[in-house]
Amino acid sequence: MDFRRFRGTDTYLTSSALESAVNCALALERPLLVRGEPGTGKTQLAEAIASALGVRLIHWPVKSTTRAQDGLYVYDTVQRLYDSRFGDGDVKDIRRYIKYGPLGQAFASRERVVLLIDEVDKADLEFPNDLLHELDRMRFVVSETGDEIVARERPAVVITSNAEKELPDAFLRRCVFHFIEFPEKDLMARIVRVHHPDLDEKLLAQALQAFYSLREVDGLRKRPSTSELIDWIAVLRRAGIASVELEAGMPFLGALLKREQDLIAFAEASMRGRRPRA
Amino acid sequence: MFVPFLYELRDRGVKVGAQEALSLAEALALGLHKGTLDGFYEVARALCVHREQDLDAFDRAFAHHFRGVPDEALALTDEILAWLEQPAGRRKLTELERQLLERLDLAEARERLRQRLSEQRERHDRGNRWVGTAGTSPHGSGGFHPTGIKVGEAPGGKGALEVAADRRFRDLRSDVTLDTRHIEVALRRLRAFVREGVLSELDVESTIDKTARNAGELEIALRPPRRSNLRVLLLLDVGGSMDPHADVCERLFSAAKRATHFKELRTYYFHNCVYGRVYETAALIRGADVLQVVQDCDPSWRLIVVGDALMSPWELQSSGSRWSFSDDSGAPGIAWLAHLAQHFPHAAWLNPEPQAAWYGTAEVIRRVFPMYRLTQDGLLEAVQRLMRGGNRH
- The dihedral through the CA atoms of B155, B157, B158, B159 has a sign that is negative
Residue A112, amino acid: R
Average pLDDT on A108-136 reads: 86
Cα dist. B356→A265, B245, B318, B373 in Å? 37, 16, 26, 11
| Secondary structure in 3-state letters for A104-125 | HHHHHCCCCEEEEEECHHHCCC
Q: Which helix (H) or strand (E) holds B223?
A: strand B222-223
Nearest CA in chain A to B20: A173
What's the average model confidence in pLDDT over A85-105? 84
Is the Cα torsion angle A16, A20, A22, A23 positive or negative in sign?
positive
Q: How far is A200 from chain B (nearest CA, A)?
A: 30
Worst-scoring range by mean pLDDT, A90-99, A143-152, B102-111?
B102-111
Q: How far is CA A94 from the centre of its chain?
A: 35
Neighbours of A87 (CB within 10 A): 8
Q: Which residues of B are less than 8 Å from A17 in CB distance?
A: 42, 45-46
Query: Which of A47, A54, A154 has its CA nearest to residue A103?
Result: A154
Alpha-helical runs (H) found in B155-268? 160-166, 180-188, 204-213, 246-258
Residues in chain A closer than 8 A to B46 (CB atoms): 17, 20-21, 24-25, 176-178
Closest CB to B204 among A33, A77, A176: A77
Residue of B nearest to A172 (CA): B50
Supply the pLDDT for residue B131. Answer: 39
Choose the mutation target among A42, A158, A179 for the interface with B, i.e. most B CBs under 10 Å. Answer: A179
Q: What does the alpha-carbon distance between residue A60 and residue A43 come to, in Å, rounded to a whole number?
A: 11
Q: Cα distance from B72 to chain A (closest Cα, Å)?
A: 25
Distance CA B286, CA A89 (A): 69
* Phi then psi dihedrals of residue B207, to 5 deg: -65, -45
Chain A residues closer than 8 Å to B211 by CB:
81
B19 contacts A164? CB cut-off 8 A: no
B169/A81 Cβ within 8 A:
no
Q: What's the confidence (pLDDT) of residue A159? A: 93
| Residue B350 to residue B348: CA distance in whole angstroms | 6
Mean pLDDT of B28-53: 85
A5 has a pLDDT exceeding 50: yes
Rounded to 5°, the CA angle B179-B181-B185 comes to 120
| H or E, element range at B10 | helix B3-11
**Residue B2 φ then ψ, to 5°:** -95, 0
d(CA B325, CA B322): 9
How far is residue B182 CA from its own chain's centroid?
A: 10
Asked if B50's CB is within 8 angstroms of A175's CB, the reply is yes
| Comparison of pLDDT for B331 and B107, the residue scoring more | B331
Q: What number is the average pLDDT over the span A116-145? A: 85
Substitution target in B26, B37, B42, B202 with the highest count of A β-carbons within 10 Å is B42
Q: How far is CA A51 from CA A8, A44, A48, A109, in A?
A: 9, 10, 5, 17
Question: How far apart, in whole angstroms, are the C-alpha atoms of residue B185 and residue B170?
Answer: 20
CA distances (Å), B188 to each of A73, A210, B183, B185, B234, in order?
A: 28, 36, 8, 5, 15
- The distance from CA A47 to its chain's CA centroid, rounded to whole angstroms, is 9
- The pLDDT mean for chain B works out to 71
**Interface residues of chain B, partner chain A, Cβ below 8 Å:** 15, 17, 19-20, 23, 26-27, 30-33, 38-39, 42-43, 45-47, 49-52, 55, 168-169, 172, 181, 185, 188-189, 202, 204, 207-208, 211, 216-218, 380
Asked whether the beta carbons of residue A81 and residue B15 sit closer than 8 angstroms, the reply is no
Handedness of CA B13, B15, B17, B23 (dihedral sign): negative
Among A111-120, A132-141, A224-233, B146-155, the least confident range: B146-155
Cβ neighbours of residue A59 closer than 8 Å, sequence gap 6 or more: A46, A102, A116, A118
B322 or B168: which carries more pLDDT confidence? B168
Tell me the C-alpha distance between B273 and B310, whole Å: 9
Please determine, for residue B106, whether its predicted confidence score (pLDDT) is greater than 90: no
Calculate the CA A14 to chain-centre distance. Answer: 15
Average pLDDT over residues B51-80: 70
Return the C-alpha torsion angle B70, B147, B13, A119, nearest 10: -130
Taking an 8 Å cut-off on Cβ atoms, the answer to whether A176 and B47 are in contact is: yes
Cβ-defined contact of B27 to A27 (cutoff 8 Å)? yes
End-to-end CA separation in angstroms for chain B: 46
How far apart CA B48 and CA A197 sit, in angstroms, is 38
Nearest CA in chain A to B17: A173
Which of B22, B51, B251 to mutate to test binding with chain A, by most A CBs within 10 Å of its CB? B51
Cα torsion B337, B342, B348, B349 to 10°: value is 10
A115 and A106 Cβ atoms separated by less than 8 Å: yes
* CA–CA separation, B342 and A148 (whole Å): 53
Lowest mean pLDDT among A28-32, A179-183, A218-222, B374-378: A218-222
Average pLDDT over residues A39-64: 89
CA distance A30 to B221: 43
CB contact under 8 A, A177 and B15: no
Mean pLDDT for the stretch of residues B283-290:
79
Per-residue confidence (pLDDT) for residue A166, from 0 to 100: 65
pLDDT computed for residue B38 by the predictor: 83
Contact flag B46-A20 (C-beta cutoff 8 Å): yes
> Average of pLDDT values for A52-80?
87
Instruction: Return the number of other C-beta atoms located less than 10 Å from residue A85's C-beta.
Output: 13
Closest CA to B1 of B31, B27, B21: B21
What was the pLDDT predicted at A57? 94
Check the CA dihedral A38-A40-A41-A43 and report its sign: negative
Residue B52 CA from chain centroid, whole number? 17
- State the amino acid at position B372 in one-letter form: Y
* Residues B361/B164, Cβ–Cβ less than 8 Å: no
The answer to whether A181 and B168 have CB atoms below 8 angstroms apart is: yes
User: What confidence category does residue B147 fall into, taking pLDDT thresholds of 50, 70 and 90?
Assistant: very low
Amino acid at position B358, single letter:
W
- The Cβ of residue A258 has, within 10 Å, a number of other Cβ atoms equal to 12
Residue B34 has pLDDT above 70, yes or no: yes
What one-character DSSP code corresponds to residue B193?
E
Distance CA A250, CA A172 (A): 42
* pLDDT bracket for residue A173 (50, 70, 90): confident
* Closest approach of B43 to chain A, Cα-based (Å): 6
Q: How many CA atoms lie within 13 A of B117 on its CB side?
A: 18
Q: Which of B22, B48, B50, B181 to mutate against chain A (most A CBs within 10 Å)?
A: B50
Through-space distance between the first and last CA atoms of chain A, rounded to whole angstroms: 46
Beta bridge partners of A177: A33
Mean pLDDT of A135-148: 88
Contact between A16 and B32 using a beta-carbon 8 Å cutoff = no
A250-264, B89-103, B236-250 — which is least confidently predicted? B89-103
Average pLDDT over residues B46-74: 77
Number of residues in chain B: 393
Q: Distance, in angstroms, between A32 CA and closest chain B CA?
A: 9
Residue B334 scores a pLDDT above 90: no
Of residues B121 and A183, more confidently modeled: A183
Kindly tell me the sign of the dihedral angle through the C-alpha atoms of B151, B152, B156, B162.
negative
Percent of chain B predicted with pLDDT > 90: 1
Query: Structure pTM?
Result: 0.61
* Predicted confidence (pLDDT) at residue B138 exceeds the cutoff of 70: no
The mean pLDDT of chain A is: 83
Phi, psi for residue A35 in degrees, rounded to 5: -125, 165
> Which residues does B161 contact at the CB level (< 8 Å), separation at least 6?
B37, B62, B63, B66, B67, B69, B154
Q: Residue B341: CB partners within 8 Å, gap ≥ 6?
A: B347, B368, B369, B391
CA distance, residue A168 to nearest chain B CA (Å): 10
Cβ separation B55–A176 shorter than 8 A: no
Which of A166, A171, A178 is most worth mutating to test chain B (most B CB atoms within 10 A of its CB)? A166
pLDDT in tens, B164-210: 666 666 665 555 556 666 677 777 777 766 776 777 778 888 888 88
In single-letter form, the type of residue at position A223 comes to: R
Residues of B in contact with A30 (CB under 8 A): 23
Q: Do B46 and A165 touch (CB under 8 A)?
A: no
pLDDT-above-70 percentage for chain B: 64
Instruction: Choose from A26, A42, A79, A177 for mutation: most chain B CBs within 10 A.
Output: A177
User: In angstroms, what separates the C-alpha of A142 from chain B's closest C-alpha?
Assistant: 18
A177 CA: distance to closest CA in chain B (Å): 5
- Reference B308, options B366, B267, B255, B253; nearest CA is B366
The whole-number average pLDDT for the span B60-86 is 60
Contact B346, B191 (CB under 8 A): no
